[in-house]
Amino acid sequence: MNRLGGLMMVWCGLVVSVCPCHGGEPASVQQMAAAAARKVVKIYGAGGVRGLEAYQSGILVSSEGRIVTVMSTVLDSEGIDCVLDDGRRFEATLVGVDPRRELAVLSIQAADLPAFALAAEPRVTPGTRILAVSNLFGVAVGDERASVQRGVVAAVVPLEARRGAAEAPYTGDVYVLDCTTNNPGSPGGAVVDSRGTLIGMLGKELRSSASGIWLNYALPADELTRGCDAIVTGTIAEVTKTPAPPLDLRRLGIVLVPDLLDRTPPFVDTVLPDSPAARAGLRPDDLVIAVGTRSVTSRDAMQRAVGGIAPGDPVRISVIRSGAVVECDVGPRPHDREAP
Contacts to other proteins from residues 112-151, by CB under 8 A: 117-122, 125-129, 151
266 binds other proteins (CB under 8 A): yes
Hey, which residues between 219 and 238 contact other proteins (CB under 8 A)? 222, 225-226, 228-229, 232-233
Query: 62 near 115, Cβ under 8 Å?
Result: yes
**Comparison of 44 and 116: residue with beta carbon closer to other proteins:** 116
> Which residues have CB under 8 Å from 289's CB, separation 6+?
295, 296, 297, 318, 319, 320, 325
Q: Cα–Cα distance between 161 and 219 in angstroms, integer?
A: 13
User: Please, what is the Cα angle at 110 between 94 and 233, to 5 degrees?
Assistant: 40
| Cα dihedral 3→5→11→14 (10° resolution) | -120
Interface residue with other proteins, options 99, 270, 297, 332 (CB under 8 A): 297
Q: Which of 49, 165, 324, 339 binds other proteins (CB under 8 A)?
A: 324
Burial 310-323 (b: 16+ CB within 10 A, else e): eeeeebbbbbeeee
H-helix or E-strand spanning residue 166: strand 166-167
Going residue by residue from 186 to 215, which x/- string records binding to other proteins, judged by CB under 8 A?
A: --------xxxx----------xxxxxxx-
Q: Report if residue 3 touches other proteins, rule: CB under 8 A.
A: yes
Pick 93 or 180: Cβ nearer other proteins: 180
Give the number of residues in contact with other proteins, rule: CB under 8 A.
78
Region of 133-141, 276-284, 304-312, 317-325 interacting with other proteins (CB under 8 A): 317-325
Closest contact distance (angstroms) between CB of 300 and other proteins is 11
Contact between 287 and other proteins by CB under 8 A: the answer reads yes
- Least distance from other proteins to the Cβ atom of residue 141, Å: 26
* Sites for other proteins among residues 67-106 (CB under 8 A): none
- Tell the smallest beta-carbon distance from residue 209 to other proteins (Å): 7
Q: Check residue 2 for interaction with other proteins (CB under 8 A).
A: no
Shortest distance, position 114 Cβ to other proteins, whole Å: 13
Q: In angstroms, what CA-CA distances link 67 with 208, 227, 276, 322?
A: 28, 13, 54, 59
Should residue 314 be labelled a site residue for other proteins when binding is judged by CB under 8 A?
Answer: no
> What stretch of H or E contains 162?
strand 161-163
CB of 216 to other proteins, least distance (A): 8
- In the bound state with other proteins, the residue whose beta carbon lies nearer, of 125 and 171, is 125
45 or 318: CB nearest other proteins: 318
Half-sphere exposure of 182 (CA within 13 A, CB side): 14
Q: Which stretch binds other proteins (CB under 8 A): 90-98, 108-116, 140-148, 178-186?
A: 178-186
Q: Beta strands of 40-102 (E only): which ranges?
A: 40-44, 55-60, 66-70, 80-83, 89-98
State the DSSP string of 199-231: EEEE----EETTT-PBP-EEEEHHHHHHHHHHH
| Cα separation of the two ends of the chain | 54
Torsion of CA 196, 198, 204, 206, to 10 degrees: -80
Residue closer to other proteins by CB (options 311, 314) is 314
**Selected range binding other proteins among 30-38, 47-55, 99-107, 305-313, rule: CB under 8 A:** 30-38
Shortest distance, position 267 Cβ to other proteins, whole Å: 7
